[in-house]
Amino acid sequence: MEEAEADPRLLRFPLASPLVRLFATVPGAAAWAARIAVDTGHRGLARHIGAVTEDVRDLQPTRAALSAEHVRGVLDRDPVALARAATQHRHAWARARAASDPAASLEDRAGPPPA
């Protein structure tokens, strides 16, 4: 997986620094973490991941806009945002993750199967 250089301003976030560094340098990591948090019932953690991703996007708008949209798609179960990330992300792994998330999003909306 390709890593990128993080904007030095991102390293000023003292408590979120490990997440900021991860989300700024590893494409798709934020959305993957958000999906795991949602799938395991940790919505608070998922929202925190979303907030950190928005911070990264604010400092690196060109590089992190689709990652932030992908995370929002996961959190909001928004198939349009997920489809946009799946078709427009420049990194293959992040595109593949986004492509698999619309199905998960639809399953989330449908709820558990009837007994």
For 5-55, write each residue's pLDDT tens digit: 555 555 555 545 788 889 988 889 999 999 999 999 999 999 999 999 998
Angle, in degrees to the nearest 10, between helices 29-39 and 43-59: 160
* Closest C-alpha among 39, 112, 44 to residue 74: 39
CA distance readout (Å), 52 to 2, 49, 102, 108 = 21, 5, 22, 23
pTM of the complete model beyond 0.85: no
CA distance 54 to 111: 28
Of residues 78, 23, 84, the one with CA closest to residue 51: 23
